[in-house]
Structure 1
Amino acid sequence: MLTTETGGTRVAPAGSPQADAECIALLHLARAHFGSAAALIVVPAAGGPHPLACVGAWPMPIPIPTDPFTHAAGHAASGAAPAVLPAAGEVWPPLPTVASTEASGCYAACALHGRHGGHLGTLLLLDTAPRTLDAARHAFLAQLATAAGPALERVLASPAGDGAGAPIAHDLVALALKGSGTGIWDRDIAKGEIHYSAEWKAMLGYEPHELGNRIEDAVERVHPDDRAYVQAEMRMHFEGGSDRYEVEHRIRCKDGSYKWICSRGKVVSRDIAGRALRMVGATTDITALREAATRHQQTIDLITNLTDEVDGLVFQYRETADGQRFFSYASRGIGQIYELEARDVATSADAVDARIDPRDLAAYRRSLRESAANLTPWRLEYRVWLPRQGLRWRQGEARPRRLPEGGTLWHGFITDATERKRIEAELHELATIDHLTELANRRDFLAQSEAEFARLRRVGNGVAAVLMLDLDHFKALNDRWGHALGDRALRHFAQLLRQEARSSDIVGRIGGEEFAVVLPGLGIDAAIAFGMRLQRRVSASPLVVDDLRVALTVSIGIDRMMPTDPGVDQVLTRCDKALYLAKARGRNRVELYGE
């Protein structure tokens, strides 16, 4: 049984060449991209093709005939592009599987040859069900083989097991990206300059010294029909309206022709006012992919995502037409984001659902349904409960694609938004909460009151009462015992007021010793009863500090919101006049405006 989960398996016998990290990295990339059960590299041997390395799981031995390799070798020797041979039961017979009741086998193979020609081996994709490759995947597999051929040549040229001369694994990814036509750019927004890598310039047919750095020239190269869209997306990202910049558009080459490119970037530096200073990104030539298949967006995103430094989970999520849900690919970031492993979600997404906070689970499922139904991007912020990390915030983004059988495939990423949400909550609290009493501050109280007033005007016949409250003799209390005790008196009164109020009432500190309450749905009589209950509660609950007992009383002015009022300020003014009357008539009273 050939089996691997993370590291890859070298299966050559003693004395034969050993697959190095580069070959294993290639197989991981191929298996993750195509969603295969296994990916193998086989090399010719005296007894027939022999497996050199495997990523995935497959029973041994693998009975592969030699004819396809002879065919592939002929293509390689001729100098043509690597042959990609669709098998699917036509070239090779079905292979045995772990479950003997199923039929399966090789569904694609790609010949690997060296820099000077000559067949070296073959890359195989195996699955437990018949599979086919569209034109876009066919092209991508051939591209991987082009990068892998020289790597295999180095392995075969080295003594068995010594790994000499093999580059580190990430070199393979660099080769693949270079072969796909990707260039890097760095924009200095303040100077109005943009600097391009040599690969970026070569993509448009320029030599390194033939392209200037002026941003005006960069805008001019964009196709006239795409220019407004590109500039709008760029402005939106500069202003913080998008997490990253991503566009697909046409661009003029040196010879006057146009290419399709996918350009992604992100502002990496802002000034203290939040203005963008520097932006970096990568551009990929997608002309051939657009011509090969209009549905090649999945492959484009996968390749370009390899250049993104995403601190989180990169994933492919699939929902079949009959409702099955699973992650066809999950990066190692799933351990940080969900405290799970890729195998936990490879056949079912239930383990992820179990991690989502019950308060957000319905919204999570609804957002995916809407994204699938309308093929609109999926974006959501939601909470998760994790065994080790506890309650955390997650931010997910993905793009959907309809599959031929009617299912939907998303590709995207999920990041940790906990720290950002914490900062947002602190800023919201600073902007809305009175730090001494922990009631709504004046600004937030007025905002909530205006919202209630707008609701009253919409319904037409609603009611709401408003109370202004002021602690009696508060200045004398401060003068006698000091501001520290005065602050404790304010906190004590705020606690009593909060206990008397309903959860739907709007309660705030307006300033100093003055408070206000809006009672939605209650008229004048109910407001008077509320005020009298509060006075009794305050009288029965003096402030106690050590051996000191300080009696408190409160004066209250009342009126009701009227839909004819221009705004909340008018009813607060009337309540304030009623409060003044309560003070003038002896304090510790409830007075109604106009009486």
Structure 2
Amino acid sequence: MQPLCSTNAPVSANDERLDGLVRLLGRHFAVAAAVLVVGAGGARRILSSAVLGELQRAQIIEAEDAGATRHAAVDPGQQASPRGVGSPLHLIARYPLLASQGRRLGALYLLDERPHELDAGQRQALQDFATLALELLAREADEARQRHEIAALRDSERRMALAIAGSGTGIWDRNVATGEIHYSSGWKALLGYAEHEVGNRIEESYTRVHPADLEYVKATIQAHLDQRTAAYEVEHRLRCRDGQYKWVCSRGKVVERDSQGRPLRMIGTTTDITAMRMLAERVRQTADLMTDLTNEVPGMVFQYRRAASGESCFTYVSAGAQAICGLSAAQLMEDAQALTAIVHPEDRRAFIESFEHCAERLSPWHLEFRVQAPGRDIAWCQGEARPRRQDDGSVLWHGFMTDITARKQIEGELQALATTDFLTQLANRRHFMAQLEAVLARLQRSPGQSAAILMFDLDHFKAINDRWGHDVGDQALRHFAAILRGQLRKTDTAGRLGGEEFAVVLSEADLPKAMQFATRVQGELARTPILHDGEQIFLAVSVGISSLSSCDASVEAALSRSDMALYCAKRGGRNRIEHH
């Protein structure tokens, strides 16, 4: 959050409270900037929750000047588009601040990077904020008058009796030596008391302090009386005439001491901050709710910041991090690189580069990657996040990571079902043809390379089915497929084209290497018969071979050549190898 700024006027003594209100306003509505304009003309002050550029300040002043001619309050939900081309912020809502007599004191503004409307609850909240702002502005004027009166009355030691009707602030004057304390009419009215219903003893005043706050209040006052603090200030609860408690902020200062430094007189104010506390409590409850919700989500919710210098950190991580990546939220917020360290080595570069690409283009982050925490199996994660450039040049991501291991396993199984022949576990015809197309495309990019296609057909397969049955026929097909797999390299592919017909594509292989491959397959098949009821069944296979080159217009042409070679092997007596 950038520091609040005030322009065109000296800083007010009340700016600290107004600044707090504006910061709270910006956080509550989650907008790019919340602005409070106070005063008019040359005495106008602009307080914002974010640093405004010259263009935005000019637009606010223009909108304020236009609104100053109106006496009716603008509907909090009313949309207003500032003039000017290329404005980076949109005016979401404007709420004029009018005194009870109709005098315009200023206005509240909400600005954001995208135009949107406030819902009914947000409009009511804006009205509540406006009420608080009016009270603070009234207190600013009242406190200025109080300071003037205190200075004027100090020499004559007259008791201060300023009544500020409806201001929410009262004044007290305490004789520390005698224990007497006098309250203004406004102070008594603050708690609902009439003039004669409040005594002037300090002991009685402590009976109105909430029991849970009493020791804290006494200790804070004593610290100031002992000159351990420059002033007395404390937030606590006071009991009203009706028995209810109000939250107040008490401020005071010793204005007279004797020659030994003992306190004689202390003057201060008491301000009703119940509405502010209630609003702060609602904000805290909302934050707690969001934390609880993110911790219960089955995944990891995170906020990640990358500085302009390249340094990065997690500024928020939900409790789901432990289940997703085996690291606690505290570990990740302490060291963002702990996550990178457990990303699978094959995915780590893509993981790092994805954030760099995202930060450069401010495009949404989406990535599927593997992680392996110590003592855990490899797990698949899916990450989603949206980046936003900050005023200091950093990039802030709000995102979510979830475990997709089960989905990846299902996808793998579906992929296997779609590409694999169920009986032999070799590539099915469709997948084999796709692999063959990929090999041809590679050859066409590198014409100097070569490949070979081999077609196999089990000899007398129909006779096996007729004599021993289809179960034995299936056993024969599985047996032959296992022999083929045993001869393949990682760069080769074997598939079942249908029935007892198989095909193999050998990458970076010429005809002699293909002949050697076919010979090894035939030899292994001859040495390892299948067994059925104690009987050995020997299998034989015919093979047709052709070359695949960059000159081939399609894989069908090369397959056709292999098929013709296979036909020649069959016609030549079977259990033979022929090439085209």
Normalised TM-score (structure 1): 0.50
Whether the aligned pair in 1 keeps the contact of 2:526 and 2:539 (CA below 8 Å) is yes
> Compared with structure 1, are the counterparts of its residues 175 and 339 closer, same or farther at alpha carbon in structure 2 (3 Å cutoff)?
closer
The yes-or-no answer on 1:469 pairing with 2:525 is: no
Output the CA distance in 1 between the equivalents of 2:398 and 2:566: 62
Whether the aligned pair in 2 keeps the contact of 1:554 and 1:589 (CA below 8 Å) is yes
Output the CA distance in 1 between the equivalents of 2:553 and 2:342: 49
- The residue aligned with 2:472 is 485
Whether the aligned pair in 2 keeps the contact of 1:120 and 1:149 (CA below 8 Å) is no
The yes-or-no answer on 1:439 pairing with 2:397 is: no
**Which has the higher relative contact order, 1 or 2, with Cα contacts under 8 A spaced 6 or more apart?**
1
> Compared with structure 1, are the counterparts of its residues 77 and 503 closer, same or farther at alpha carbon in structure 2 (3 Å cutoff)?
closer
> Which of 1 and 2 has greater Rg?
2
Whether the aligned pair in 2 keeps the contact of 1:364 and 1:380 (CA below 8 Å) is yes
Output the CA distance in 1 between the equivalents of 2:456 and 2:246: 92
Output the CA distance in 1 between the equivalents of 2:494 and 2:445: 22
Q: How does 1:226-245 map to 2 (within 5 A)?
A: none
Output the CA distance in 1 between the equivalents of 2:275 and 2:572: 94
CA RMSD of aligned residues (A): 4.2
Output the CA distance in 1 between the equivalents of 2:424 and 2:486: 13
- The residue aligned with 1:296 is none
Q: What code does the residue aligned with 1:394 have?
A: C
Unaligned runs of 5+ in 1: 1-25, 34-74, 84-110, 123-144, 153-168, 177-301
> Compared with structure 1, are the counterparts of its residues 511 and 112 closer, same or farther at alpha carbon in structure 2 (3 Å cutoff)?
farther
Q: How does 1:520-535 map to 2 (within 5 A)?
A: 520-535=507-522
Output the CA distance in 2 between the equivalents of 1:590 and 1:551: 18
Report the Cα offset of residue 582 of structure 1. 0.6
Output the CA distance in 2 between the equivalents of 1:121 and 1:539: 98
Q: What code does the residue aligned with 1:149 have?
A: M
2:377 to 376, 390, 393: 390
Whether the aligned pair in 2 keeps the contact of 1:375 and 1:402 (CA below 8 Å) is yes
1:568 to 533, 545, 555: 555
1:543 to 530, 552, 555: 530
The yes-or-no answer on 1:368 pairing with 2:355 is: yes
Whether the aligned pair in 1 keeps the contact of 2:383 and 2:402 (CA below 8 Å) is yes
The superposition leaves residues 120-141 of structure 1 with CA deviations (integer Å, 9 ceiling, x where unpaired) of 469xxxxxxxxxxxxxxxxxxx
Output the CA distance in 2 between the equivalents of 1:412 and 1:459: 43
The superposition leaves residues 192-249 of structure 1 with CA deviations (integer Å, 9 ceiling, x where unpaired) of xxxxxxxxxxxxxxxxxxxxxxxxxxxxxxxxxxxxxxxxxxxxxxxxxxxxxxxxxx
Q: What code does the residue aligned with 2:398 have?
A: H
Output the CA distance in 1 between the equivalents of 2:431 and 2:137: 68
1:426 to 413, 418, 426: 413
1:339 to 326, 343, 346: 326
- The residue aligned with 2:395 is 408
Q: How does 1:342-361 map to 2 (within 5 A)?
A: 342-361=329-348
Q: What code does the residue aligned with 2:473 have?
A: G
Output the CA distance in 2 between the equivalents of 1:77 and 1:461: 80
SS at match of 1:566: coil
Structure 1 stretch 332-341 or stretch 549-558: which is displaced more? 332-341
Report the Cα offset of residue 525 of structure 1. 1.9
SS at match of 1:411: strand
> Compared with structure 1, are the counterparts of its residues 327 and 585 closer, same or farther at alpha carbon in structure 2 (3 Å cutoff)?
same
- The residue aligned with 1:11 is none
Output the CA distance in 1 between the equivalents of 2:420 and 2:440: 21
The yes-or-no answer on 1:517 pairing with 2:504 is: yes
Output the CA distance in 2 between the equivalents of 1:147 and 1:474: 89
The superposition leaves residues 294-316 of structure 1 with CA deviations (integer Å, 9 ceiling, x where unpaired) of xxxxxxxx99x979995311101
- The residue aligned with 2:125 is none
Q: What code does the residue aligned with 2:442 have?
A: R
Unaligned runs of 5+ in 2: 1-23, 32-130, 140-234, 239-243, 251-273
Output the CA distance in 2 between the equivalents of 1:564 and 1:579: 22
The superposition leaves residues 382-429 of structure 1 with CA deviations (integer Å, 9 ceiling, x where unpaired) of 112245762221100112233444433221111121222122112111
Output the CA distance in 1 between the equivalents of 2:438 and 2:512: 23
Output the CA distance in 1 between the equivalents of 2:404 and 2:396: 24
1:173 to 286, 310, 313: 286
Output the CA distance in 1 between the equivalents of 2:311 and 2:511: 58
1:377 to 364, 368, 372: 364
Whether the aligned pair in 1 keeps the contact of 2:294 and 2:318 (CA below 8 Å) is no
Whether the aligned pair in 2 keeps the contact of 1:468 and 1:556 (CA below 8 Å) is yes
SS at match of 1:415: strand
Report the Cα offset of residue 459 of structure 1. 2.7
- The residue aligned with 1:588 is 575
- The residue aligned with 1:558 is 545
- The residue aligned with 2:278 is 149
- The residue aligned with 1:79 is 135
Output the CA distance in 2 between the equivalents of 1:171 and 1:405: 27
Output the CA distance in 1 between the equivalents of 2:406 and 2:364: 24
Output the CA distance in 2 between the equivalents of 1:81 and 1:368: 46
2:485 to 476, 489, 498: 498
SS at match of 1:346: helix
The superposition leaves residues 250-293 of structure 1 with CA deviations (integer Å, 9 ceiling, x where unpaired) of xxxxxxxxxxxxxxxxxxxxxxxxxxxxxxxxxxxxxxxxxxxx
Whether the aligned pair in 1 keeps the contact of 2:344 and 2:370 (CA below 8 Å) is yes
Report the Cα offset of residue 466 of structure 1. 0.7
Report the Cα offset of residue 329 of structure 1. 0.2
Output the CA distance in 2 between the equivalents of 1:545 and 1:499: 22
Report the Cα offset of residue 444 of structure 1. 0.1
Output the CA distance in 2 between the equivalents of 1:452 and 1:562: 9
SS at match of 1:413: strand
Whether the aligned pair in 2 keeps the contact of 1:147 and 1:175 (CA below 8 Å) is no
Whether the aligned pair in 2 keeps the contact of 1:542 and 1:552 (CA below 8 Å) is yes
Whether the aligned pair in 2 keeps the contact of 1:148 and 1:172 (CA below 8 Å) is no
The count of residues paired between Structure 1 and Structure 2 equals 335
Output the CA distance in 2 between the equivalents of 1:82 and 1:467: 94
The superposition leaves residues 179-202 of structure 1 with CA deviations (integer Å, 9 ceiling, x where unpaired) of xxxxxxxxxxxxxxxxxxxxxxxx
Q: What code does the residue aligned with 2:319 have?
A: R
